[in-house]
Amino acid sequence: MRVAAEQQNPAKMAGRMMQAARCPTDELSLTNCAVINEKDVQIGQYVTVKTNPPHKYVFTVRFHQSMPPGSIGFSLPQRKWAGISIGQDVEVTSYNFDKAKQCVGAMTVEIDFLQKKNVDSSPYDTDKMAAEFIQHFNSQAFSKGQQLVFSYCDKLFGIVIKDIEGMDSSILKGDASTGKKQKIEIGLLLGNSQVIFEKAESSSVQLIGKAKTRESRQSIINPDWNFERMGIGGLDKEFSDIFRRAFASRVFPTDIVEQMGCKHVKGILLFGPPGCGKTLMARQIGTMLNAREPKVVNGPEILNKYVGESEANIRKLFADAEDEQKRLGANSGLHIIIFDEIDAICKQRGSMAGSTGVHDTVVNQLLSKIDGVEQLNNILVIGMTNRPDLIDDALLRPGRLEVKMEIGLPDEHGRVQILNIHTAKMRDFNLLATDVNVKELAAETKNFSGAELEGLVRAAQSTAMNRHIKASNTVEVDMEKAEKLQVSRDDFLASLENDIKPAFGTHQEDYASYIMNDIIRWGDPVTAVLDDGTLLVQQTKNSDRTPLVSVLLEGPPHSGKTALAAKIAEDSQFPFIKICSPDKMIGHSEIAKCQAIKKIFEDAYKSQLSCIVVDDIERLLDYVPIGPRFSNLVLQALLVLLKKPPPHGRKLLIVGTTSRKAVLQEMEMLDAFSTKIHVPNISQGEQLVEALEMLGSFQEKERAVIAKEVKGKRVWIGIKKLLMLIEMSLQMHAEYRVSKFLSLLREEGALDSDLHMRI
């Protein structure tokens, strides 16, 4: 804060010009002092620094031999506050405090984490923080608006001085306080000064204790709230968003809220995949708030076979809130009602064919209670569902369940939090081996939900305990070894491989069968296809402009399109990889097939990075050349899904395969793909010999005979068909294998000196 030094300090000495410089060490930067050389000792303990334009700022001085004479060092927050640049000439003048008027009685400071990446949810005791602040900055000068850095509990906090009250002069004389409080611009912090902390707006720092002001009004929020202790991990952002929307108005004094004409949010809808913490979050919101005990009800429990009973059950849930609002009005406490599986009772009205209308009247009753003619302002309804698309639209409008929050799969940081929560007890009792790295496990558990991570920990515990069980005629526990039980890294990895698989993750067995023989790089065409696939994977990962990338691998039958598509998907290392294959839809009706394909895409949208292989598209479409016939319903579904971009922040790679490019062209499906890649057959004798060498099926002499036979001739065979012919030939006696192989090639029409005339 700029000051009029002439008024504050009439006894100041004549100023001298000094050059502004950086603070010489990080340790000195945390002292909040300006640093000068010991040779400039004629400058007093406190100085006024006059900048150009002529503003004046008061600093406490500290001497250090590393600062050149004639220079004065400032930390970055000091330079930012005073507008001082490196190398700038400033006028430095000694400053004397009037201790009768300029001692700090109470100082209010605004606090936030200095670096957002170091944010945590641990509560900080403001009483202890204030004591350390006074000890660290005792006898220092502070100005209103000043910025500084404060180190506490190995964390760096940014501090802004919001307000300074002068100390009652009668206290300094040893007399009783007169109660007079005077605002001052500059003050000297003393050992008996009071420091009051307020958290900065939008800050996530959690303050407890008495040395805080703004927090004391937030009586609705439980001061002992802690994410990890409540068993919640990976949902920090979701809690922050819910708090901003649903509780910001509830922490303000009721008179201010009424003056603004503000209405509280009455409903929250939590939706997302199973096992991601919707029910846990809803229950813990009740714990977080100093509110009535939440009423938790499962949706189906509301329904009753007797006429009117279902509606009466809804009314009973709101009866206590209605009664309290009538008695206490705006001072009524908050009543929380939690509906699990809310889609069971709140389906779209009129959507249930043959229904007696019970569901419709239940929805009507719930709508009228949340936001009807007689409005309740002391309720918070929390609904949870996996199917938000089934819920009646009227329930989702503002004034009802207006805050819609997706509780998605946790990211890597969230998985670290969740695993730490579920292994905390083992760590406390030394039952977790030192080789268990939670960050490594989090990296390996892509697309695991919170429930699946908990299941992984349980599976690892079971694996560890099983080592100490003697299974003979009877089942006994080896007590000597059991006392030394520890859950190791190998237990987690074994459980990860054998026991727990993510519902929305990559199932390697789905695509492993397609590349069980690996990729045979018989020539440049195969390498080119894989290189193009790698580029498309990188585009999907890195490009924000194209969150949806689709590629069609087309070529003749048996050319290895499916294997190449599976290889591109495997090499992508995406957390969600799914193969949409016709072999899993045998016997499905058109509608069932459309729903199965749609579900694969909807599951993919729940992951940050996803890859879908749509294999053998003409088979999915039920295409046959006789007629020709195909399923138009499935075609239209695929056309829509291939062009539909994933939700914001999600990315999707689609790899399609077909042997009927011309048919897809007629169906106008080729244009639905971003790009097309041709997968050719083996067409040269040299490529055939290269494939045989890579497979290593024939001996070198045998390959030489085959090479001589195919030299100068055209071949035309897919790698998949070639593998089949090789395996058939290998069943023969050694001396007949080559001749059998060559005859099979000719029988298949794959080897012919005049083949080029037919192609």
| Token couple for 332 | 């009524």
Q: Is 48 among the catalytic positions?
A: no
Torsion angles phi and psi, residue 186, rounded to 5: -130, 135
- CB count within 10 Å of CB 145 equals 15
Q: Residues with Cβ < 8 Å from 607, sequence gap 6 or more? A: 409, 447, 504, 574, 575, 576, 650
CB distance 149 to 30 below 8 Å:
yes
Question: What is residue 221's DSSP assignment?
Answer: B
CB distance 9 to 186 below 8 Å:
no
| Token couple for 515 | 């590349």
| Token couple for 198 | 């307020």
Angstrom distance (rounded) from CA 601 to CA 594: 11
Angstrom distance (rounded) from CA 450 to CA 502: 10
Cis before 388 (ω within 30): no
Q: Which of 562, 567, 603, 651 is catalytic?
A: 562
Torsion angles phi and psi, residue 256, rounded to 5: -65, -40
Q: Which residues pair with 34 in a beta bridge?
A: 61
CA 265, 267, 273, 278 torsion: positive or negative? Answer: positive
Q: Where are the alpha helices (DSSP H) in 139-196?
A: 169-172
CB distance 379 to 337 below 8 Å:
yes
Q: Residues with Cβ < 8 Å from 109, sequence gap 6 or more? A: 133, 159, 160, 161, 162, 195, 196, 197, 198
CB distance 264 to 250 below 8 Å:
yes
- 441-454 core/surface letters (b: 16 or more CB in 10 A; e: else): bbeebbbbbbbbbb
Q: Which of 155, 295, 720, 740 is catalytic?
A: 720
Closest C-alpha among 537, 536, 558 to residue 691: 558
Angstrom distance (rounded) from CA 271 to CA 405: 6
Q: Which residues pair with 514 in a beta bridge?
A: none
Angstrom distance (rounded) from CA 503 to CA 448: 8
CB distance 620 to 647 below 8 Å:
no
| First vs last C-alpha separation in the chain | 86
Our measurement of the distance from residue 97's CA atom to the centroid of its chain's CA atoms, rounded to an integer in Å, reads 52
Angstrom distance (rounded) from CA 679 to CA 637: 26
Question: What is residue 380's DSSP assignment?
Answer: E
Q: Which residues pair with 163 in a beta bridge?
A: 108
| Token couple for 678 | 């041709």
Q: Which of 237, 326, 439, 643 is catalytic?
A: 643
Q: Is 434 among the catalytic positions?
A: no
Q: Is 604 helix (H, G, I), strand (E, B) or coil?
A: helix
Angstrom distance (rounded) from CA 209 to CA 226: 15
CB distance 611 to 653 below 8 Å:
yes
Angstrom distance (rounded) from CA 678 to CA 691: 19
Angstrom distance (rounded) from CA 57 to CA 146: 9
Q: Is 561 among the catalytic positions?
A: yes
CB distance 371 to 266 below 8 Å:
yes
Question: What is residue 228's DSSP assignment?
Answer: T
Q: Which of 56, 561, 578, 651 is catalytic?
A: 561
Largest distance between two CA atoms of the chain: 118
Our measurement of the distance from residue 336's CA atom to the centroid of its chain's CA atoms, rounded to an integer in Å, reads 27
Q: Is 643 among the catalytic positions?
A: yes
* Cα dihedral 299/303/309/311 (nearest 10): 50
* Helices (H) then strands (E): counts for the chain: 28, 30
Angstrom distance (rounded) from CA 687 to CA 680: 12
Which of the residues are catalytic? 561-562, 615-616, 643, 720
